[in-house]
Every structure is written in structure tokens, then in C-alpha cells.
Amino acid sequence: MAVMNLPNIEFYLILGRAVFLVFSFALAAVTFTAWRRSTRAQTEEVLAQNRALLEQLAALSTRIESTDQRVAQLHERLEQPAARPPSTPASPQGYQIAIRLARSGASPEELVSGCGLTRTEAELVRRLHGPPLPELRQAS
């Protein structure tokens, strides 16, 4: 009978180690490739977000510049002297003259120009001390 030569156990252990090393290398290659893809996708996402933030920053910068210009214009307008002359309050003697003129039937425009009253003051003096207006007599 022929004796079969069976490989000894050391050969199987070496063969097992070789298979394990090849499997481990293949697994590491697949894992490394997946990790690189994931990292690349994350990097692209971060870059897209960065671009969006830069665009928003540019828009905000433009808005800030326009706001600065508006504030500067408002500041200039506030620092310029008012175009209207300062109102000087009418003296008590001016009120007395205005009352006499109103009693004689003077219009509010005449009270403004003659006594130095404001338009509203002249209308008030005219209503309080002037003769009743014809429209009011007809309405009552």
C-alpha cells in the first residue's frame, strides 16, 4: 500500500498565516479607500459651506458700507445748522397788540407778520379774542 504523504501541521499553520495576512491586507485596503472617500466628501461639504459663508460675509460687508454712508449723511445733516431761523418768543407786549388786532378783525397772517407770533399762536389768539366767524354763526 502506498502511504499518503500528508502535509504536516506546520505547513497548515504557515498557510493559515498567509491567508490571514492577505485577508487583513484586503480588509485594510477596502477600509482605507472608504475612509478616503468619506474624508473627501466631508472636505467638499466644508468647502461648500465656506464658500456660502464668504458670500454672506461679502453681502454683509456691502450692507455695512451702505449703512455707514447713510449714517455719515445723517451725521452731516444733524451737524448742519437748521435752515429755519430760530423762533423768538413773542413778548407780552406783542400778545397785547395781537389781542387788540384780533378784536378789530385782523387775520392770522397779519398777526404773524405784525406781532411776531407763530401761525398756531396767531390762530389761537384769533379764535379767543377775535370776532366770531360768519360760518360759525350760520352753523349754530
φ and ψ at 10, to 5 degrees? -65, -35
pTM over 0.85: no
Hey, what's the cell of 69? 454712508
pLDDT tens digits along 43-101: 999 999 999 999 999 999 999 999 999 999 999 988 887 555 555 566 778 888 889 89
**pLDDT beyond 60 at 26:** yes
CB 122 within 8 Å of CB 112: yes
**pLDDT beyond 80 at 6:** no
- Give the separation between CA 96 and CA 103, rounded to whole angstroms: 11
**Which residue from 126, 79, 124, 123 is spatially nearest to 102, judged by alpha carbons?**
126
Residues 6+ apart with CB under 8 A from 90: 98, 115, 116, 117, 121
